[in-house]
Structure 1
C-alpha cells in the first residue's frame, strides 16, 4: 500500500460518507488493513488531512497559456472551483488547516506569478491577494448563506412561510427585495434562490476588472497613504 493510494482512498471515503465520517479506523477497514498499518504512511490524522488537501489541489488544472494575466488567473480560479465542487467537503478542510502544505504554497505561488508576469508591482500584488482571499480557491463566504440546519422551503408549512415573508417585508424590506430577485437554483451552495456559479463569476470578474484599473493607474501603498493625508 502506497501513500498516494491511502490518500486517494481517504478522498473517496470523504466523498461517499462525508469528511465527518473519516477516521483512521474507518479508513483502515475500507482498505482491509489494521489501523496501525496506516501510520507507516502518515503520522496522524492531521497529516492525513493535509495530504488530502494536496490531492484536491493536485486536481486543479495547470496554468493556461493565455496572453493576458486576467484570462490566465480567471481560468485557474475557475479550475480550482471545479475541483472543490467535485469534493464539497474540501472547502471546509482548506479553511481548517493551520499550516500550508507544499501543494497549497505552489498554487499560491503560481497565482502570484501570473500577476507579476502581467506587470503588477509586488506592492499591488500583495493587495490583490488580500482581495482575492478564499476566492482564489474557488469559494467565498456568501452574504446569503443559510445554516446547514435550516429547513428547506418544502418542509415549512405555507402559512409559516407567508408569515415569515410578511414580517421580513416590514422589518427588512431591502434585504427581502434583493434576496427575492435572485434566480432560483436549489442546488446552490450560496443559498436557495441564488445561482452560485453566476454569483461567483460576477464577483470574480468585478475583482479582476478592478485589479486591471489599479494596475493601469500604477497604484501603490505609498501613494494611497499620501492621498489619505
Structure 2
C-alpha cells in the first residue's frame, strides 16, 4: 500500500472534487477514498481550510511555465490561456480560489512569475502594477462577468421573454447578438473562450501601447 503523504492526500481530494464537485468533498469522504481513518488526514492537513488551500496550490501548479525568450505578450497570453485550460479541467477550482482569504504559496509564486514576464518584457514597475490590476482574475484564467446566466432559474416562457425584450430592448439586442460556447464556460454567464480571449487581447495590446510611449501613472 502506498504510504500516505500530503501529495497523495491533495491528489485524491482534487480527483474527488473533479468527479463530484467541491460540495461533495469532506474529510470523511476523503479518508474513505484513501482507505484510512479520518484522523490520519490531520497529520498532513490541519483542517478543511488547509486542505482547500493545498488543492488550490495543486491546481495552480498545473499551469505551464513561461517559455524563455518569448515575446512578453505571447508569454502572458499563453500562461493565462493555460490557466484557463486548467480551470476547465477542474471546474470547481475558481470558486475555491475566490473563497481564500489570502493568496496561497503557489498563487504567490505564479503571480511573482507573471510580474517577472511583464518586467522582463520592458514594462515599468508602475505599468506592471496597473496591468495586473486590469487583468484581475483573468491572470488565473477566469473573469467576473456582468451578466451571469448560471443561476439555474427556469427559462422564461415566450410571453415573459417578449415583455423583457420590450422593457429592456438594448439588453435583448446584446443577448441575441452572438452565440456563446456553453461547453467552454468556466463559471457561467458569457465567460466563454471567445469573450475571454477578446478581453485579454484588448488588454495586452493596450499595455503594449502604454509601454511603447513610456506611460506612467503620474502622467496619467
TM tier relative to shorter chain: over 0.9
Matches of 1:173 and 1:222, distance apart in 2: 41
Size of the aligned set, in residue pairs, is 216
- 2:135 is equivalent to residue 132 of structure 1: yes
CA spacing shift, 1:195–1:88, aligned 2, 3 Å: closer
Secondary structure at the residue paired with 1:222? coil
Q: Which residue of 29, 34, 37 maps to 1:34?
A: 37
CA displacement at 1:187 relative to structure 2: 2.6
Q: 1:32-68: CA deviations, max 9, x gaps?
A: 1110000011111111110000100111011123531
Which segments of 5 or more consecutive residues in structure 2 lack a partner in the other structure?
none
Higher RCO (CA 8 Å, separation ≥ 6 residues): 2
Q: Give 1 or 2: higher helix fraction.
A: 1
Which segments of 5 or more consecutive residues in structure 1 lack a partner in the other structure?
225-229
- 2:118 is equivalent to residue 122 of structure 1: no
Deviates more, 1:165-174 or 1:11-20: 165-174
Secondary structure at the residue paired with 1:128? helix
CA contact (8 A) 1:81 1:138 kept: yes
CA contact (8 A) 1:64 1:75 kept: no
CA spacing shift, 1:188–1:170, aligned 2, 3 Å: farther
Q: 1:58-91: CA deviations, max 9, x gaps?
A: 1101112353110000000000000000000000
Q: Which residue of 1 aligns with 2:50?
A: 47
Q: CA RMSD in A?
A: 1.6
- 2:94 is equivalent to residue 98 of structure 1: no
Matches of 2:121 and 2:180, distance apart in 1: 37
Secondary structure at the residue paired with 2:65? coil
